[in-house]
Amino acid sequence: MLRRVAAAIVAFVLISLGLSSCASLLPSVSRKIHRGANKNPTQPLAIADKPTLMAIVSRNYNLIRDFHAQVSLTATVGSVEKGTIKEYPNVTAHIYFRRPADIRILASWPVGTLFDMVSDGTNFKLSIPHYSRFLVGRNETTQRSAKNFENVRPQDFLEALLVAPFPDARRVAINNFTDEEDQVYNLSEFEDDGSGGPLIRRTIQFSRVDLGVTRQQIFDDDGNILSDARYSGWKYFDLAPFPTHIDIQRPQDEYGVVIDVIKMDINKTIANDRFVVPQPPGYTLQVIGEPPAPVAPGATPPARRRGRAQ
Protein backbone atom coordinates (compact mmCIF):
# COMPACT_ATOMS: atom_id res chain seq x y z
CA MET A 1 0.00 0.00 0.00
CA LEU A 2 2.79 2.44 0.94
CA ARG A 3 4.60 1.54 -2.27
CA ARG A 4 1.51 2.47 -4.34
CA VAL A 5 1.08 5.76 -2.50
CA ALA A 6 4.75 6.63 -2.99
CA ALA A 7 4.53 5.80 -6.70
CA ALA A 8 1.47 8.00 -7.10
CA ILE A 9 3.18 10.92 -5.37
CA VAL A 10 6.29 10.59 -7.51
CA ALA A 11 4.18 10.36 -10.68
CA PHE A 12 2.30 13.52 -9.71
CA VAL A 13 5.55 15.41 -9.11
CA LEU A 14 7.06 14.27 -12.40
CA ILE A 15 3.93 15.18 -14.37
CA SER A 16 3.83 18.56 -12.65
CA LEU A 17 7.43 19.15 -13.79
CA GLY A 18 6.55 18.18 -17.34
CA LEU A 19 8.39 14.86 -17.16
CA SER A 20 5.44 12.73 -18.32
CA SER A 21 7.68 10.39 -20.30
CA CYS A 22 9.49 9.42 -17.10
CA ALA A 23 6.24 9.12 -15.15
CA SER A 24 4.93 6.60 -17.66
CA LEU A 25 7.64 4.19 -16.49
CA LEU A 26 6.14 4.08 -12.98
CA PRO A 27 3.52 1.49 -11.98
CA SER A 28 -0.13 2.65 -12.12
CA VAL A 29 -3.42 1.38 -10.79
CA SER A 30 -6.63 1.56 -12.86
CA ARG A 31 -10.03 1.99 -11.23
CA LYS A 32 -13.38 1.31 -12.86
CA ILE A 33 -15.98 4.05 -12.64
CA HIS A 34 -19.48 2.92 -11.63
CA ARG A 35 -22.11 3.98 -14.18
CA GLY A 36 -25.29 2.28 -13.06
CA ALA A 37 -26.24 -1.31 -12.39
CA ASN A 38 -25.22 -3.81 -15.08
CA LYS A 39 -23.77 -1.04 -17.25
CA ASN A 40 -20.48 -1.20 -19.09
CA PRO A 41 -18.10 1.11 -17.19
CA THR A 42 -16.24 1.85 -20.44
CA GLN A 43 -19.42 2.94 -22.24
CA PRO A 44 -19.23 6.63 -23.20
CA LEU A 45 -21.56 8.85 -21.22
CA ALA A 46 -24.48 10.42 -23.06
CA ILE A 47 -24.21 14.09 -23.91
CA ALA A 48 -27.30 16.31 -23.96
CA ASP A 49 -28.27 19.97 -23.77
CA LYS A 50 -31.18 21.70 -22.05
CA PRO A 51 -33.63 21.51 -25.00
CA THR A 52 -32.98 17.77 -25.38
CA LEU A 53 -33.63 17.02 -21.72
CA MET A 54 -36.74 19.20 -21.64
CA ALA A 55 -38.02 17.35 -24.71
CA ILE A 56 -37.55 13.99 -22.94
CA VAL A 57 -39.73 15.15 -20.05
CA SER A 58 -42.43 16.50 -22.39
CA ARG A 59 -42.44 13.36 -24.54
CA ASN A 60 -42.75 10.98 -21.59
CA TYR A 61 -45.55 13.05 -20.07
CA ASN A 62 -47.54 13.56 -23.27
CA LEU A 63 -47.45 9.88 -24.23
CA ILE A 64 -49.70 9.00 -21.29
CA ARG A 65 -53.39 9.86 -21.60
CA ASP A 66 -54.55 7.55 -18.81
CA PHE A 67 -53.37 4.50 -16.94
CA HIS A 68 -54.41 1.79 -14.50
CA ALA A 69 -51.58 0.38 -12.43
CA GLN A 70 -51.69 -2.51 -10.00
CA VAL A 71 -48.88 -1.90 -7.54
CA SER A 72 -47.27 -3.01 -4.32
CA LEU A 73 -47.24 -0.10 -1.90
CA THR A 74 -45.05 0.27 1.19
CA ALA A 75 -45.61 3.25 3.47
CA THR A 76 -43.35 4.87 6.04
CA VAL A 77 -44.19 7.44 8.69
CA GLY A 78 -41.72 9.75 10.43
CA SER A 79 -38.79 11.86 9.32
CA VAL A 80 -35.01 11.82 9.17
CA GLU A 81 -34.87 15.15 10.96
CA LYS A 82 -36.80 13.78 13.94
CA GLY A 83 -34.73 10.61 13.88
CA THR A 84 -37.56 8.06 13.70
CA ILE A 85 -39.11 6.31 10.72
CA LYS A 86 -41.69 3.53 11.01
CA GLU A 87 -42.26 1.22 8.04
CA TYR A 88 -45.55 -0.59 7.49
CA PRO A 89 -46.05 -3.91 5.66
CA ASN A 90 -46.63 -3.58 1.93
CA VAL A 91 -50.17 -3.71 0.58
CA THR A 92 -51.69 -4.08 -2.88
CA ALA A 93 -53.12 -0.95 -4.48
CA HIS A 94 -54.76 0.12 -7.72
CA ILE A 95 -53.92 3.54 -9.14
CA TYR A 96 -56.15 5.11 -11.78
CA PHE A 97 -55.19 8.24 -13.69
CA ARG A 98 -56.96 10.22 -16.41
CA ARG A 99 -56.09 13.56 -17.94
CA PRO A 100 -56.09 16.28 -17.02
CA ALA A 101 -55.78 15.57 -13.29
CA ASP A 102 -58.11 12.78 -12.15
CA ILE A 103 -56.41 10.25 -9.89
CA ARG A 104 -57.66 7.55 -7.55
CA ILE A 105 -55.67 5.28 -5.25
CA LEU A 106 -57.41 2.25 -3.76
CA ALA A 107 -55.29 0.26 -1.31
CA SER A 108 -56.31 -3.10 0.14
CA TRP A 109 -55.06 -5.49 2.77
CA PRO A 110 -56.18 -9.09 3.43
CA VAL A 111 -59.27 -8.07 5.44
CA GLY A 112 -60.55 -5.40 3.05
CA THR A 113 -59.95 -1.81 1.97
CA LEU A 114 -57.18 0.08 3.75
CA PHE A 115 -57.96 3.46 2.19
CA ASP A 116 -59.60 4.87 -0.91
CA MET A 117 -58.80 8.38 -2.10
CA VAL A 118 -59.61 10.38 -5.20
CA SER A 119 -58.92 13.84 -6.59
CA ASP A 120 -60.10 15.86 -9.58
CA GLY A 121 -57.09 18.14 -9.41
CA THR A 122 -58.75 20.67 -7.10
CA ASN A 123 -60.58 18.74 -4.38
CA PHE A 124 -59.98 15.36 -2.79
CA LYS A 125 -61.87 12.70 -0.85
CA LEU A 126 -60.33 10.09 1.43
CA SER A 127 -62.19 7.11 2.88
CA ILE A 128 -60.57 5.24 5.79
CA PRO A 129 -62.66 2.18 6.74
CA HIS A 130 -60.57 1.23 9.78
CA TYR A 131 -61.51 4.51 11.48
CA SER A 132 -64.89 4.96 9.72
CA ARG A 133 -63.64 8.36 8.61
CA PHE A 134 -64.37 10.25 5.40
CA LEU A 135 -62.17 13.27 4.74
CA VAL A 136 -62.82 15.93 2.10
CA GLY A 137 -61.07 19.17 1.23
CA ARG A 138 -58.83 21.05 -1.13
CA ASN A 139 -55.61 19.63 -2.48
CA GLU A 140 -53.53 22.50 -1.14
CA THR A 141 -52.12 22.00 2.35
CA THR A 142 -51.89 25.34 4.16
CA GLN A 143 -51.57 23.94 7.68
CA ARG A 144 -50.28 20.45 8.38
CA SER A 145 -51.97 18.11 10.79
CA ALA A 146 -50.20 16.19 13.56
CA LYS A 147 -52.04 13.13 12.21
CA ASN A 148 -49.99 12.02 9.22
CA PHE A 149 -52.86 10.48 7.27
CA GLU A 150 -54.67 13.84 7.23
CA ASN A 151 -51.76 15.31 5.25
CA VAL A 152 -51.94 12.73 2.45
CA ARG A 153 -53.23 14.07 -0.86
CA PRO A 154 -53.83 12.10 -4.08
CA GLN A 155 -52.28 15.01 -5.97
CA ASP A 156 -48.97 14.41 -4.15
CA PHE A 157 -48.85 10.97 -5.75
CA LEU A 158 -49.74 12.36 -9.17
CA GLU A 159 -47.01 15.00 -9.27
CA ALA A 160 -44.48 12.29 -8.37
CA LEU A 161 -45.80 9.59 -10.71
CA LEU A 162 -45.92 11.84 -13.78
CA VAL A 163 -43.03 14.27 -14.13
CA ALA A 164 -44.61 17.37 -15.64
CA PRO A 165 -42.97 19.38 -18.44
CA PHE A 166 -41.37 22.76 -17.81
CA PRO A 167 -43.74 25.59 -18.80
CA ASP A 168 -41.02 28.18 -19.53
CA ALA A 169 -37.56 27.31 -20.85
CA ARG A 170 -36.27 30.74 -19.83
CA ARG A 171 -36.71 29.76 -16.18
CA VAL A 172 -34.81 26.49 -16.45
CA ALA A 173 -31.07 26.02 -15.86
CA ILE A 174 -28.92 22.98 -16.62
CA ASN A 175 -25.85 21.70 -14.84
CA ASN A 176 -23.66 18.69 -15.45
CA PHE A 177 -22.74 16.87 -12.23
CA THR A 178 -20.27 14.14 -13.14
CA ASP A 179 -17.67 12.58 -10.88
CA GLU A 180 -16.63 9.08 -9.83
CA GLU A 181 -19.89 8.47 -7.93
CA ASP A 182 -22.50 10.33 -9.99
CA GLN A 183 -22.95 10.97 -13.68
CA VAL A 184 -26.08 13.10 -14.02
CA TYR A 185 -27.58 16.18 -15.58
CA ASN A 186 -29.82 18.41 -13.49
CA LEU A 187 -32.55 20.68 -14.81
CA SER A 188 -33.63 23.24 -12.22
CA GLU A 189 -36.77 25.34 -12.53
CA PHE A 190 -36.85 28.83 -11.00
CA GLU A 191 -39.43 31.45 -10.15
CA ASP A 192 -39.18 35.10 -9.14
CA ASP A 193 -39.15 35.37 -5.34
CA GLY A 194 -41.01 38.69 -5.50
CA SER A 195 -37.94 40.85 -5.03
CA GLY A 196 -36.22 40.10 -8.31
CA GLY A 197 -34.25 37.12 -7.06
CA PRO A 198 -34.48 33.46 -8.12
CA LEU A 199 -36.50 30.92 -6.17
CA ILE A 200 -35.83 27.28 -6.99
CA ARG A 201 -39.03 25.26 -7.39
CA ARG A 202 -38.03 21.93 -8.87
CA THR A 203 -35.01 19.90 -9.94
CA ILE A 204 -35.15 16.92 -12.29
CA GLN A 205 -32.17 14.59 -12.49
CA PHE A 206 -31.19 12.55 -15.57
CA SER A 207 -28.74 9.67 -15.72
CA ARG A 208 -25.94 10.24 -18.22
CA VAL A 209 -25.92 6.50 -18.89
CA ASP A 210 -29.22 6.56 -20.80
CA LEU A 211 -30.72 10.05 -20.14
CA GLY A 212 -33.53 8.50 -18.11
CA VAL A 213 -35.16 10.50 -15.31
CA THR A 214 -33.85 9.26 -11.96
CA ARG A 215 -35.09 11.86 -9.48
CA GLN A 216 -37.45 14.81 -9.03
CA GLN A 217 -37.31 17.21 -6.10
CA ILE A 218 -39.90 19.91 -5.41
CA PHE A 219 -39.15 22.78 -3.00
CA ASP A 220 -41.10 25.27 -0.92
CA ASP A 221 -40.50 29.02 -0.68
CA ASP A 222 -37.67 28.51 1.82
CA GLY A 223 -35.84 25.93 -0.26
CA ASN A 224 -36.97 22.99 1.86
CA ILE A 225 -37.95 19.74 0.15
CA LEU A 226 -41.67 19.19 -0.29
CA SER A 227 -41.38 16.07 -2.42
CA ASP A 228 -38.42 13.85 -3.29
CA ALA A 229 -39.15 11.09 -5.80
CA ARG A 230 -36.61 8.60 -7.15
CA TYR A 231 -37.24 6.49 -10.25
CA SER A 232 -35.76 3.26 -11.54
CA GLY A 233 -36.68 0.19 -13.56
CA TRP A 234 -38.04 2.10 -16.54
CA LYS A 235 -40.03 -0.05 -18.95
CA TYR A 236 -42.19 0.56 -22.02
CA PHE A 237 -45.93 -0.06 -21.75
CA ASP A 238 -47.75 0.38 -25.07
CA LEU A 239 -44.83 2.50 -26.32
CA ALA A 240 -44.97 4.78 -23.27
CA PRO A 241 -42.02 4.69 -20.79
CA PHE A 242 -42.87 4.39 -17.11
CA PRO A 243 -40.75 3.61 -14.02
CA THR A 244 -41.58 0.36 -12.24
CA HIS A 245 -40.00 1.44 -8.94
CA ILE A 246 -40.85 4.83 -7.43
CA ASP A 247 -39.69 5.99 -4.01
CA ILE A 248 -41.65 9.06 -2.86
CA GLN A 249 -40.65 10.95 0.28
CA ARG A 250 -42.65 13.85 1.76
CA PRO A 251 -40.40 15.05 4.62
CA GLN A 252 -42.59 17.95 5.72
CA ASP A 253 -45.69 15.75 5.76
CA GLU A 254 -43.61 13.07 7.50
CA TYR A 255 -44.53 10.15 5.31
CA GLY A 256 -43.12 8.22 2.41
CA VAL A 257 -44.39 5.68 -0.10
CA VAL A 258 -42.50 3.12 -2.17
CA ILE A 259 -44.41 1.94 -5.24
CA ASP A 260 -43.51 -1.16 -7.26
CA VAL A 261 -45.53 -1.70 -10.42
CA ILE A 262 -46.96 -5.19 -10.80
CA LYS A 263 -49.14 -4.59 -13.84
CA MET A 264 -49.67 -1.51 -15.97
CA ASP A 265 -52.26 -0.62 -18.63
CA ILE A 266 -51.67 2.69 -20.40
CA ASN A 267 -54.10 4.53 -22.68
CA LYS A 268 -56.85 1.88 -22.48
CA THR A 269 -59.57 4.40 -21.47
CA ILE A 270 -60.92 4.40 -17.91
CA ALA A 271 -64.62 4.62 -17.06
CA ASN A 272 -65.99 7.59 -15.12
CA ASP A 273 -67.09 5.46 -12.16
CA ARG A 274 -63.46 4.61 -11.40
CA PHE A 275 -63.07 8.17 -10.14
CA VAL A 276 -66.07 8.17 -7.81
CA VAL A 277 -65.60 7.54 -4.08
CA PRO A 278 -68.93 7.96 -2.21
CA GLN A 279 -69.16 8.49 1.52
CA PRO A 280 -70.18 5.19 3.19
CA PRO A 281 -73.14 5.28 5.59
CA GLY A 282 -72.18 5.84 9.21
CA TYR A 283 -68.74 7.28 8.44
CA THR A 284 -67.67 10.44 10.27
CA LEU A 285 -67.32 13.29 7.78
CA GLN A 286 -64.45 15.71 8.27
CA VAL A 287 -63.80 18.75 6.15
CA ILE A 288 -60.05 19.24 6.43
CA GLY A 289 -59.49 22.36 8.46
CA GLU A 290 -62.44 21.61 10.73
CA PRO A 291 -62.71 19.11 13.60
CA PRO A 292 -64.58 15.87 12.81
CA ALA A 293 -68.23 15.79 13.80
CA PRO A 294 -69.25 12.74 15.85
CA VAL A 295 -71.67 10.40 14.13
CA ALA A 296 -73.60 7.66 15.93
CA PRO A 297 -73.41 4.20 14.32
CA GLY A 298 -76.03 3.93 11.59
CA ALA A 299 -76.89 7.64 11.73
CA THR A 300 -76.98 9.86 8.67
CA PRO A 301 -73.71 11.82 8.41
CA PRO A 302 -74.01 15.61 8.63
CA ALA A 303 -74.05 17.68 5.48
CA ARG A 304 -70.68 18.93 4.34
CA ARG A 305 -69.86 22.28 5.87
CA ARG A 306 -67.95 25.01 4.20
CA GLY A 307 -64.51 25.59 5.56
CA ARG A 308 -61.01 26.47 4.56
CA ALA A 309 -58.93 23.50 3.48
CA GLN A 310 -56.12 22.47 5.70
Residue 27's pLDDT band (cuts 50, 70, 90): low
Q: What is the mean pLDDT of residues 31-35?
A: 58
12 plus 118 within the same structural domain: no
169 plus 253 within the same structural domain: yes
Mean pLDDT comparison of 30-39, 145-154, 237-246, highest-scoring range: 237-246
134 plus 267 within the same structural domain: yes
21 plus 165 within the same structural domain: no
**Structural domain includes residue 39:** no
- Give pLDDT, residue 38: 46
Strands (E), the chain: 66-79, 84-87, 91-98, 102-109, 112-119, 123-128, 133-138, 172-178, 183-192, 198-207, 213-219, 225-237, 240-250, 255-266, 284-287
Which has the minimum average pLDDT: 152-156, 253-257, 277-281, 299-303?
299-303
- Give pLDDT, residue 123: 94
| Distance between CA atoms of residues 16 and 32, nearest Å | 24
The overall average pLDDT reported for the chain is 83
**Structural domain includes residue 296:** no
* pLDDT for 52 beyond 90: yes
Residue 158's pLDDT band (cuts 50, 70, 90): very high
CATH code where residue 63 lies: 2.50.20.10
283 plus 192 within the same structural domain: yes
Instruction: Name the residue range of residue 19's domain.
Output: 1-30
For the chain, the domain total comes to 2
13 plus 125 within the same structural domain: no
**Structural domain includes residue 254:** yes
- Give pLDDT, residue 249: 95
| Distance between CA atoms of residues 195 and 198, nearest Å | 9
* pLDDT for 305 beyond 60: no
Residue 294's pLDDT band (cuts 50, 70, 90): low
**Structural domain includes residue 38:** no
133 plus 58 within the same structural domain: yes
11 plus 142 within the same structural domain: no
- Give pLDDT, residue 180: 85
**Structural domain includes residue 306:** no
**Structural domain includes residue 150:** yes
21 plus 108 within the same structural domain: no
Q: What is the mean pLDDT of residues 279-307?
A: 61
DSSP 204-237: EEEETTT--EEEEEEE-TTS-EEEEEEEEEEEEE
* pLDDT for 152 beyond 70: yes
187 plus 241 within the same structural domain: yes
Q: What is the mean pLDDT of residues 80-103?
A: 87
149 plus 260 within the same structural domain: yes
122 plus 271 within the same structural domain: yes
Summarised one tens digit per residue, pLDDT across range 199-228 is 999 999 999 999 999 999 999 999 999 999
